[in-house]
Amino acid sequence: MMILYCVDFWLECPQWARISFVRVKYLFLTWLTVLVGSWVLYVQYSAYTELCRGHECKNAICDKYRRGIIDGSACSGLCDKQTLYMGRCLSTLPNNQVYTGSWGDHDGIIRCKLGEVMHYELGEEPEPRREAPVFDKPTRGTSVEKFREMVFNHLKSKLGEQANLASLVNQILSVADGNKDGRVSLPEARSMWALLQMDEVLLGLLLQDRGHTPRLLGYCGDLYMTERVPYGPLYGLSLPWPLVSWVPNGVQRTMDQWFTPSWPRKAKISMGLLELVEDIFHGTYGSFLICDVAAAHFGYTDRYELRLTNTRAVVPEEEFRRSMRALKCETDADCVYGVDCQTSCDVSGRRCREEPLQPNLAKACSTLKDYLLRGAPSALREELERQLYACMALKGNAGQMNMEHSLILNNLKALLWKQISHTKDS
């Protein structure tokens, strides 16, 4: 009764009771802190072990390499010489492993596919991992000419009829010759075939010659390493998840523009994005659509040259049209591919039309508007804003679109180049 009385009437408690109560209170808070901290650590560790399984990836790849199933330019460094190291885990999906990597003098990003992760309850035996049947093509006895034909037909299915497919096949076979002995072995062919099934690798090979994507440094099976892009995203600040829901979108957009280079350097980076749009609009291997122009998919080098860091955001126009033809719809909202690619709905036939509503250039200008206008020279700002809004108004199905597209693109590039051509950043 004395303890209850003291708790209820603090001022009337004797000194020893007050000290005891303070001790109990601090002991309880300490216990609660340890409990919550332990729970957070457990959750973080569980998430890490689920997402970061690079050792499994390496073991699976090296096992197949040692059995003679696969081979590639990075196999020896990864499995024999131990000169290719996996560093920090960047994975966001359990079956798509992403790590920073080091290979001799090269720093890069290592990516590797793993089979589907099977979930199980505590105390149960985990089910065997489901692995996709990769590395089964080409089969034993396949000639180099037959493999060449396989690659050609695969590219044709992805890109459509293109005049330069034969030269692209030669380029891919050159990359497939990992040990540079002048011929493609069966294990090397299996590795390259597995890589070509991943659209991001194929598109990376298509665009790396123009300097738009990180260069492929090496591969072993479907594990591959590309050069690291030191700065990314293009702009923006990644807030901790508890703060994301509390920060209004308008404030977030303003904060995104605080962490950017000086304006001449931003102009050079923007020129890189405009050149990417130009090169994939009726390019060497057909046309491509950028279906997610988020700043997170772009980065830049120490020389302020733009790099597309997520080639999954790009899709061949042939594949896009094929996908749209297969979509049923009630409204235009049903005819969406990715994030930024949309067509209209033919209500009478209840099918999506093939023609994209907005070209790449309009979407790129929307991404660059705030980026370029913030800090722009006062003498340039009005004309730059006018051209950016004209660019954003472009429509995919407008008459004379090709001519209008080229005119706006060239005018915008000329305006930016005039401002930075005399600076050291050019």
pTM of the model: 0.78
Residue 358 has pLDDT above 80, yes or no: yes
pLDDT of residue 124: 40
Separation CA 219–CA 169 (nearest Å): 18
pLDDT of residue 401: 60
Residue 123 has pLDDT above 50, yes or no: no
**Nearest alpha-carbon partner for 218 in 89, 72, 96, 367:** 72
Mean pLDDT of the chain: 82
Q: Quick one: average pLDDT of 104-110?
A: 92
What long-range pairs does 393-399 form, CB within 8 A, spacing at least 24? Answer: 393/362, 394/358, 394/359, 394/361, 394/362, 395/357, 395/358, 395/359, 395/362, 396/355, 396/356, 396/357, 396/358, 396/359, 397/355, 397/357
More confident residue, 422 or 116: 422
Query: Is there a contact between 260 and 406 (Cβ–Cβ < 8 Å)?
Result: no
Nearest-Å Rg of the Cα atoms of the chain is 28
Q: Which residues of 292-322 are buried (b: 16+ CB within 10 A; e: fewer)?
A: bbeeebbbbbeebbbbbbbbebbbbbbbbbe
Report the SS3 class of residue 288. Answer: strand
pLDDT tens, position by position, 146-166:
999 999 999 999 888 888 899
Tell me how far the alpha carbon of residue 24 is from its chain's centroid: 52
Residue 344 has pLDDT above 90, yes or no: yes
CATH T-level topology, domain 249-422? Transferase(Phosphotransferase); domain 1 (1.10.510)
Q: Centre a 10 Å sphere on the Cβ of residue 283 and count the other Cβ atoms it contains.
A: 16
Query: Is there a contact between 87 and 192 (Cβ–Cβ < 8 Å)?
Result: no
pLDDT tens, position by position, 288-323:
999 999 888 999 999 999 999 999 899 998 899 999
pLDDT tens, position by position, 216-253:
999 999 999 999 999 888 876 665 555 555 666 666 66
Residue 125 has pLDDT above 90, yes or no: no
Residue 40 has pLDDT above 60, yes or no: no
- The residue ranges of every structural domain in the chain are 53-115+135-227, 249-422
